Amino acid sequence: MDDTVETSLSDVSAAPSIDSHEGMSLPRAVRIASSGSYDSLQRHRRRNPRARRPVKETLDARSEYTTSQDDGTAEHRINQYIIKQEIGRGSFGAVHLAADQFGHEYAVKEFSKSRLRKRAQSHLLRRPRGPRRTDTEFNSPLHRHPSQDDSENAKNPLYLIKEEIAIMKKLNHSNLVSLIEVLDDPTEDSLYMVMEMCKKGVVMKVGLEERADPYDDEHCRCWFRDLILGIEYLHAQGIVHRDIKPDNCLVNSDDVLKVVDFGVSEMFEKDSDMFTAKSAGSPAFLPPELCVAKHGDVSGTAADIWSMGVTLYCLRYGKLPFEQQSIFELYESIRNDTVDFEDEQDEIFMDMMSRILEKDPAKRINMRELREHPWVTASGAEPLLPYKENTAQIIEPPH
Ligand SMILES: Nc1ncnc2c1ncn2[C@@H]1O[C@H](COP(=O)(O)OP(=O)(O)OP(=O)(O)O)[C@@H](O)[C@H]1O
Ligand SMILES: [Mg+2]
């Protein structure tokens, strides 16, 4: 059992633990005490999210840089939010802790508009010639067609992250990080996404040759159940995440795991089988069917399930299951190598992992089978609530 306590379980107001990493302040992966209170059945019974408030879009935000009257330190404000320390890094800017006028805390993700515009242009240049797929075409993603309409984008810079916003607006589930507001300050280079705060940061920091302390069985099971509920809901909304990994699994002050980062997610038409030929995601978490050049359409849901398995392996063993120095060797290893489960004694766990990390996506376990697997349900003693009871009705914003 891992009994290390590095973050207080009870102190909700405590500042997140910070690791100094190459000059940056990054949240330390949570290590949470085994308090004996991980009653998975109770935990997963309690989750019934309420109707969500519509996401606010603010196009005339104002950034202010002032000096704090309390201690003379510099203060950055965006409208009602006071921006505090950096808690993470995204590919288009930093993620900061922020507090509003009532002291409620949020995570604010920043995007550089100039970098987003460069990305949009390079997408436009790379777009294949020939007839464009239309949005009504079978199985075509509903977004990710780079904008041809620059005037649209000049009028409303939020257009630059419209895919991520559109996806997050659709979501209302306690195992997915929710979006509260998006802001643009027309006089600055940044766009901001205000999200619910996950105080304990990433569930684990693990990477190529980066080891972490593994979690005990009960934590692994509890968090994997959270992951199942979040991703099952996501898939039911016609969205595949495509970048599931410990770095995108955050933990809040109640020790609930929430999936974040819909930057490469894809949204499909209703009743689509969610097949896609797009390659995205982090190499070590890619399924074998995406580790080949010029792969055709693959199942987005089966790909997410593979990445969930790689994530669970990380939580349980504190390291990646496939680790190679070059991308070529890594892809070859994912396609051909069997995973080393050290001297794992838990046969039920082994059975589930072998069905998740099944190389053939057509034979891989599906979400319905996974949520009923004896390792997940403690041999039937702790079944997950049926899907419908775990989701809230989404209330459409008034028009
Ligand atoms: N809601 C949140 N609460 C706490 N920390 C967060 C939150 N959102 C993001 N972070 C921190 O910031 C990091 C980067 O955020 P995120 O994963 O959204 O960006 P990214 O990986 O660069 O995404 P993108 O692919 O969209 O650029 C996370 O790994 C996490 O450490
Ligand atoms: Mg991320």
Q: How far is CA 352 from CA 184, 203, 228, 349, 376, in A?
A: 45, 21, 13, 5, 9
| Separation of alpha carbons 47 and 45, rounded Å | 6
Q: Give the active site residue among 184, 185, 243, 247.
A: 243
Q: Which helix (H) or strand (E) holds 179?
A: strand 179-184
3-state secondary structure of 108: strand
The torsion angle over the Cα atoms of residues 322, 323, 327 and 332, rounded to 10 degrees, is: -40
Please report, for the chain, the start and end positions of each structural domain, with discontinuous segments joined by +. Answer: 9-50+198-390, 56-114+149-196
pTM: 0.82
In this predicted model, what pLDDT tens digit does every residue of 257-289 receive, in sequence order? 999 999 999 999 877 889 988 878 899 999 999
For 9-50+198-390, CATH gives 1.10.510.10
Give the list of residues 6+ apart from residue 249 with CB closer than 8 angstroms, or none. Answer: 202, 203, 204, 223, 227, 257, 258, 259, 260, 311
In this predicted model, what pLDDT tens digit does every residue of 122-132 receive, in sequence order? 766 665 544 44
* Mean predicted confidence (pLDDT) in 322-342: 95
Taking the centre of ligand 2 as the mean of its atom positions, its distance from the CA of residue 311, in whole angstroms, is 13
Q: Which CATH class is domain 56-114+149-196?
A: alpha beta
Give the list of residues 6+ apart from residue 273 with CB closer than 8 angstroms, or none. Answer: 139, 299
pLDDT value for 131? 42
Q: Pick the more confident residue, 227 or 159.
A: 227
| Separation of alpha carbons 89 and 110, rounded Å | 9
Angle at 256 (CA atoms; ends 250, 260), nearest 5 degrees: 30
Residue with CA at minimum distance from ligand 1 atom 7: 107
DSSP-assigned beta bridge partners for residue 26: 19
3-state secondary structure of 365: coil
Confirm or reject: Cβ of 105 under 6 Å from ligand 1.
Answer: no
pLDDT value for 316? 97
Active site residue 243: yes
Six-digit token string for 297: 């359409």
Confirm or reject: Cβ of 248 under 6 Å from ligand 1.
Answer: yes
